[in-house]
Amino acid sequence: MSDSSANVRSAETGTNIDTGTDTESVSRPATEYSDDVELAVNRLGKRFGGITAVDGASFTVESGSMTGLIGPNGAGKSTTFNCITGIHQPDAGTVTFQGRDITGINPYECVDYGLVRTFQIAREMANMTVLENLMLPAKHQQGEALWRSVMPVARREVEQQERELLERVWDTLEFFEIEHIAEEKAGTLSGGQRKLLEMARALMTEPEMLLLDEPFAGVNPTLEKKLLEHIHELRADGYTFLIVEHDMDLIMDNCEHVIVMHQGSVLAEGVPGQITSNERVIEAYLGGEV
Partner 1 sequence: MSATPHSDYRAQLETLWEHDALKIVAVIGAIYLIYAAIGLVLGYSLDGIINTLRRMTYLIAVYGMVTLALNLHWGYTGLFNIGIAGFMAIGLYATMMLAKPADPSGAAQYSGLGLPVPIAIVGGVVIAGLAGLVVALPALRLRADYFAITTIAFAEIVRLGVTSGALQEFTVLGAELGTGGGRGLIRNYGDPMNAIFELGAFSSFVDLTNSLFGFGPTQARALAYSIVLVLVLAGFYWLIQRTSRSPFGRVLKAIREDEEAAQSLGKNTNRFKIKVFVLGCALMGLAGILWRFRRTGVTPTAFRPHVTFYIWIALIIGGAGSNTGSVLGSGLFVAILFEGPQYLRRVIDQVVAVDDAPNTFAGAVGPLLSADPAPLVRYTFDEFLTLQFVIMGVALILLMQRRPEGLLGHREETAAAIPLGSRPSGAGTGGSGGGGSRGGGNSSGGNSNDTGDDPGTGVDHNRTHGHSNSASTDAPDHDHDIEPRTTTDATSETSETSETNETTHTGGEKP
Q: Restricting to residues 45-64, which ones interact with partner 1 according to CB under 8 A?
A: 63-64
Q: What is the DSSP pairing of strand 92-97 with strand 37-48? A: antiparallel
Please choose, from the candidates 269, 283, 264, the residue with its C-alpha nearest in 3D space to the C-alpha of residue 75. 264
Among 128, 250, 252, 282, binds partner 1 (CB under 8 A): 128
Q: Are 53 and 76 in contact, with CB atoms under 8 Å apart?
A: yes
Q: Is 129 in the site for partner 1 (CB under 8 A)?
A: yes
Which positions from 222 through 261 interact with partner 1, judged by CB under 8 A? 229, 232-234, 236-239
Which of these segments, 10-18, 41-49, 68-76, 132-140, binds partner 1 (CB under 8 A)? 132-140
Q: Is 158 in the site for partner 1 (CB under 8 A)?
A: yes
**d(Cα 213, Cα 244) in Å, to the nearest integer?**
5
Q: What is the DSSP pairing of strand 257-262 with strand 115-117? A: unpaired
Q: Is 87 in the site for partner 1 (CB under 8 A)?
A: yes
Q: Is 159 in the site for partner 1 (CB under 8 A)?
A: yes
Q: Is 11 in the site for partner 1 (CB under 8 A)?
A: no
Q: Are 60 and 39 in contact, with CB atoms under 8 Å apart?
A: yes
**d(Cα 179, Cα 141) in Å, to the nearest integer?**
23
Shortest Å distance, C-beta 251 to partner 1: 19
Which of these segments, 40-48, 66-74, 89-97, 175-183, binds partner 1 (CB under 8 A)? 175-183
Shortest Å distance, C-beta 288 to partner 1: 35
> Helix (H, G, I), strand (E, B), or coil: what is residue 136?
coil
Q: Which is nearer to partner 1, 80 or 141 (CB)?
A: 141
Count the residues of the shown chain that bind partner 1, applying the rule CB under 8 A: 73
Q: Is 271 in the site for partner 1 (CB under 8 A)?
A: no
Q: State the Cα angle at 205 between 210 and 20, rounded to 5°.
A: 75
Q: Is 123 in the site for partner 1 (CB under 8 A)?
A: yes
Angle between helix 221-236 and 191-203 (nearest 10): 10
Q: Which is nearer to partner 1, 125 or 286 (CB)?
A: 125
